[in-house]
Structure 1
């Protein structure tokens, strides 16, 4: 059947929009970017869109920063070049800007290190599949896909599985989904203990609880007598306080306890608050020290010391180290050398 004159090939833009193609806002995120391309191409296929309309229809779904990028690109290459551009030609600069190699390399590293930490099978499988599409060079066979998927699972799933028994990635995913349902049933029946789903949240809650005295530790409240964590009655409950003689508290919590200064040994204040120290600091100025003479040393030999009439020698210890001191009586000079003459 021949097309009527003036009839649009493929689908119209109205028919294309009727399939609700996705919108892209320009996130520099390889997963979001690739998913948008894949979804738009799926609409092209379902609507039998003509290849000449791919760029015009597809770029109509760009918003925000993505639209700004495309507007600048059209100015750069010219309106005519943008009009005749193919979809494959469009994807090259589009991916270069919104899915740079550095981001893809990071996704590959995340794929290798991916581990299930409390996520459901559906959620962790979705993360696995999103990252897998960027690892074509790393994962080339179905056997490798199965290996990486198995290695990513938590121990409670790996303990009953042998990856070599599965022929496709779909097989192992279906098996794990079935086992997850069975695990939930076992937990409901009390046959298996549920693991902590979010250890970081539990750790954060534990830290905040430890900062409050009113919280519970091990199921026991904080004791009001000694302010310690323990079970049963406090052994200080009926014991009289050595300071006031009353019961119901310990010495450290006694209201009659008085601070004693370790400077003047008077009650009512601490050493840092002692009037003696504070008064001296405020009124007494530090004395000006006289300049000290600079030390000088002179090197003499043992023979010179013995022949010099003005030199007197002596042996004593400096810091437990034997030393020889020579005094020049004529010139008021001293000589110190370690060892013996």
Structure 2
């Protein structure tokens, strides 16, 4: 594993499975940043994630891992992630994130702030943003009326072009 070279600044937080389900996506995001920096392969991602589990979360994994990765089955991050989310990020918490995304509008935020707020919950609404034109339209529709109106006439089709122009 390439993890030994990591400096003290690369310490993803532990996860105990207690408390706020909103902490789940933040923890996963932090882990994924660490994976990228360390250049982890699939099995290392799962190993690192499991190493960070404590208390309830660790007990859950001990009871679940044989079903998720039976003997001889490769450990794949996406499979771990799906099972982990199923357990610790409930359907109702995901629904709240979806609603949050659907009602998001720029309001008093700058375009950059709005873009950051748009990006975060968009992962919980993948069907609403999987097609580039749908993502661009949803972003445009949440902008302030004056910016939105100017962008409709330009007819930009990509999210990146819309963001840049806004």
TM-score of the pair, normalised by structure 1: 0.40
* Contact kept in structure 2, 1:146 and 1:169, CA below 8 Å: yes
Deviation at 1:38, TM superposition (A): 3.9
Aligned to 2:49: 58
> Structure 1 residues 117 and 156 mapped into 2: Cα distance closer, same or farther (>3 Å)?
same
> Structure 1 residues 102 and 17 mapped into 2: Cα distance closer, same or farther (>3 Å)?
farther
> Structure 1 residues 131 and 169 mapped into 2: Cα distance closer, same or farther (>3 Å)?
same
Choose which of 42, 46, 63 in structure 2 pairs with 1:76.
63
Tell me how far apart the structure 2 counterparts of residues 135 and 112 of structure 1 sit (CA, whole Å): 8
Are residues 1:155 and 2:155 paired? no
Choose which of 32, 43, 56 in structure 2 pairs with 1:41.
32
Aligned to 2:119: 129
Question: Which one has the largest radius of gyration?
Answer: 1
Deviation at 1:169, TM superposition (A): 0.5
Tell me how far apart the structure 2 counterparts of residues 150 and 90 of structure 1 sit (CA, whole Å): 34
Tell me how far apart the structure 2 counterparts of residues 135 and 103 of structure 1 sit (CA, whole Å): 12
Greater share of residues in strand: 1
Greater share of residues in helix: 2
Query: Greater RCO between the two (CA within 8 Å, min separation 6)?
Result: 2
Tell me how far apart the structure 2 counterparts of residues 162 and 70 of structure 1 sit (CA, whole Å): 47
Structure 2 gap segments, 5+ residues each: none
Deviation at 1:15, TM superposition (A): 2.0
Choose which of 73, 81, 105 in structure 2 pairs with 1:91.
81
Tell me how far apart the structure 2 counterparts of residues 105 and 20 of structure 1 sit (CA, whole Å): 32
Deviation at 1:146, TM superposition (A): 1.6
> Structure 1 residues 138 and 167 mapped into 2: Cα distance closer, same or farther (>3 Å)?
closer
Deviation at 1:99, TM superposition (A): 1.6
Tell me how far apart the structure 2 counterparts of residues 47 and 114 of structure 1 sit (CA, whole Å): 34
> Structure 1 residues 24 and 166 mapped into 2: Cα distance closer, same or farther (>3 Å)?
farther
Aligned to 1:22: 12
TM-score of the pair, normalised by structure 2: 0.74
Tell me how far apart the structure 2 counterparts of residues 150 and 78 of structure 1 sit (CA, whole Å): 43
- Residues 101-116 of structure 1: matches in 2 within 5 Å? 101-116=91-106
* Contact kept in structure 1, 2:12 and 2:34, CA below 8 Å: no
Tell me how far apart the structure 2 counterparts of residues 144 and 24 of structure 1 sit (CA, whole Å): 36
